Every structure is written in C-alpha cells, then in structure tokens.
C-alpha cells in the first residue's frame, strides 16, 4: 500500500473523501471557509487539498490565497495533527518562473509552508508535468524535501501514463522518494484522463488516484440542468455537459439517488470511490450544508447494478 492508501484506510472512514480547497479565499471567504473546514473535520474528514496557485486566476489575487486561509484556520483551531494537508507546486510563478526546476521547487515549498503555518506537508504534488526539466532532477529535488522532513510523501497531477512511468523510473534510478499519488481529472463525464493506460499503471504500481472535479464543476450535483442555470463562477464550465451527455447521466443519478435516499452528489462520488485504483475523490464546498451532503458519500454503497447503470449512462455514444 502507498503512504496515501495507508492514511486512507487506517485513519479515515472508508471510502475516504478529500476536501478541495480551491474555493477558499475565492468563492468562500475566510469565515465561510472556516465553517466548511470545521464541519468537514467534525464529520470525520481529515484530508484537505490545496495548491500554491489557488486562486491566482481571480482578478486582484496573486496565488496562495487558499493556503493562507487554511493556515489561518490551522493556527486558530490548533488542529494540525488531526488533518492531512496536500498541496502542489509548479503552476504559480516565482520571480517569473514556474515549473519543476529544483530551485523553483525549493522556493515554492518554503512559501507554501509559510502560508500554511506548518513545518511539514503531508503530500506534496507536482501540479503538472514539466517536460523542460529532466525528471531525474525533479526526483532529486523532491527527495531532498522528504529527507529534510518538509514533505512526508510526494505525488503528481495532470500526468499522462507515459510521463508518470518515466518519472517513477527516474525516481527508481536515483533511489529517490517515489510518487505515491496521482491527481488527474476524473468523474462520470470526464473519464479519459484516468481510465485506460493511466489507471492500469496506477493499479499495477500501487499509486493512489485522488481525482479532482469529482462533481464536474458542480454539474453532477444536479445544480445546472438548463442553460439558464449556468451562472456564477462555475457555471461557464458546465455548458458542455448540458449540451452533451450530461442530461443522460443526471437521469441515471436521479433514479439511483431516489432508490438510496441519497443526493446526486453522494452517488457521483460513491461511483468514483468504487473504481479500481481510487484512493479518494476530491470535492469542494462553499457551505456547511454542502459539506454535510458530501460527507454522506462516505456511507453510501452502490450495488453492482447501480455501477453498471452509471457506466452505461456515462459512456458517450459512438456515432454510426
């Protein structure tokens, strides 16, 4: 078992759920973020995911907003030892430079540690592949962080199967810390970045997948059923689902949710958790009510018939 899976299976309710921190300091202000974090931990959650680049895409933001909010919460609540923090490096520029060059990783981890107000990160991920930097150098840079105690485990995000395999091989050659987790997009409407070669590699090499966009930017919660529903910060991202295979998937979710007296979000996350190689899905929330709903997925067990129905509904028909 990987480090992430040991955490997931021994310390968390099974199947575990990771709270996405991309909304903190963005669509959730500090007070709301604190309430969400409190509710998540009170409900049995432990793993909180963020990245140094959250939320640099917002006008007036420079990145680090999410980490700063989480750090303030950790300081005020004094709960560092009760939670597992994952963050990422590679997309936020420092002095105009981004990527996975060793010097950049060294600077970025110090900035993340300072914002989080902690002396270690439980899981540190390469936010995206950097083909311009030799993977052996990346391996050594991450390995130094592990040996220094600044990082407990490492992982990757947005990697193809070939690049993940070559990265792991580079780590093996250098006898360096190995990627324990992968974080690619994966949900009922976005299956291509995991299923197939990536999933096969992760299962074969015991790399735990922690997919992001588990609810397809909120679409799988049933919030956006018509074009006029697609408003707000996330609304623009769901238009393709409304026009595509989304309605058919929502129909299947509606039926299964009704049968289990569950919400659509709970069913969508339970489907992810049931797939081979999944360590834990990620989902974000901007209210206590949403957190409580998401945590319900921890206790939902879908039948083989449920899973098959969702598989069929989410498979895009091939034109003939």
pLDDT of residue 235: 67
* Rounded distance between C-alpha atoms, residue 41 and residue 8, angstroms: 15
Per-residue pLDDT tens digits for 206-253? 999 999 999 999 999 998 888 777 676 566 788 899 988 999 999 999
169: left (phi over 0), alpha (psi -120 to 50) or beta: alpha
Locate the domains of the chain by residue range: 3-221+265-301
Place of tokens 């004094």: 78
Does residue 14 surpass a pLDDT of 60? no
User: Among residues 15, 105, 9, 115, which one has the least CA distance to residue 56?
Assistant: 115
For residues 85-95, give the mean pLDDT.
97
- Model confidence pLDDT, tens digit, residues 48-82: 999 999 999 999 999 999 999 999 999 999 989 99
CA 166 to chain centre: 22
Q: Which CATH number fits domain 3-221+265-301: 3.40.50.2300, 3.40.50.720, 3.20.20.100, 3.40.50.460?
A: 3.20.20.100
Q: What are the tokens at 183? A: 């974080």
108 token code pair? 């970025």
- The model's pTM is 0.92
Task: Give residue 220's pLDDT.
Answer: 96
């Amino acid at each position: 078992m990987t480090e992430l899976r040991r955490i997931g299976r021994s310390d968390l309710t099974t199947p575990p759920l990771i709270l996405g921190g991309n909304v903190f300091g963005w669509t959730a202000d500090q007070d709301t973020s604190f309430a969400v974090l409190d509710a998540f931990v009170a409900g049995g959650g432990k793993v909180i995911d963020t990245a140094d680049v959250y939320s640099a895409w917002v006008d007036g933001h420079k990145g680090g907003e999410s980490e700063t909010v989480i750090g303030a919460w950790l300081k005020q609540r004094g709960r560092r030892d009760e939670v597992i923090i994952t963050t990422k490096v590679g997309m936020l520029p420092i002095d105009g430079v981004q990527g996975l060059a060793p010097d950049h990783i060294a600077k970025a981890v110090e900035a993340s540690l300072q914002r989080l107000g902690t002396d270690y990160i439980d899981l540190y991920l390469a936010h995206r592949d950097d083909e311009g930097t030799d993977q052996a150098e990346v391996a050594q840079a991450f390995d130094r962080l592990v040996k220094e105690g600044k990082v407990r485990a490492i992982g990757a995000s947005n990697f193809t199967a070939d690049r993940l395999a070559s990265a792991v091989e580079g780590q093996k050659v250098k006898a360096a810390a190995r990627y324990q987790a992968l974080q690619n997009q994966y949900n009922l409407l976005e299956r291509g970045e995991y299923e197939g070669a990536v999933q096969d590699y992760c299962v074969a090499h015991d790399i735990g997948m922690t997919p992001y966009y588990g609810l397809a930017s909120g679409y799988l919660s049933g919030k956006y059923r018509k074009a006029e529903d697609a408003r707000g910060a996330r609304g623009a991202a769901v238009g393709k689902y409304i026009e595509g295979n989304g309605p058919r998937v929502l129909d299947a979710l509606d039926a299964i949710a009704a049968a289990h007296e569950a919400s659509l979000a709970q069913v969508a996350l339970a489907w992810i958790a049931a797939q081979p190689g999944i360590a834990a899905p990620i989902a974000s929330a901007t209210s206590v009510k949403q957190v409580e709903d998401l945590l319900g997925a921890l206790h939902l067990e879908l039948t083989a018939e449920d899973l098959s129905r969702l598989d069929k509904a989410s498979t895009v028909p091939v034109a003939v």
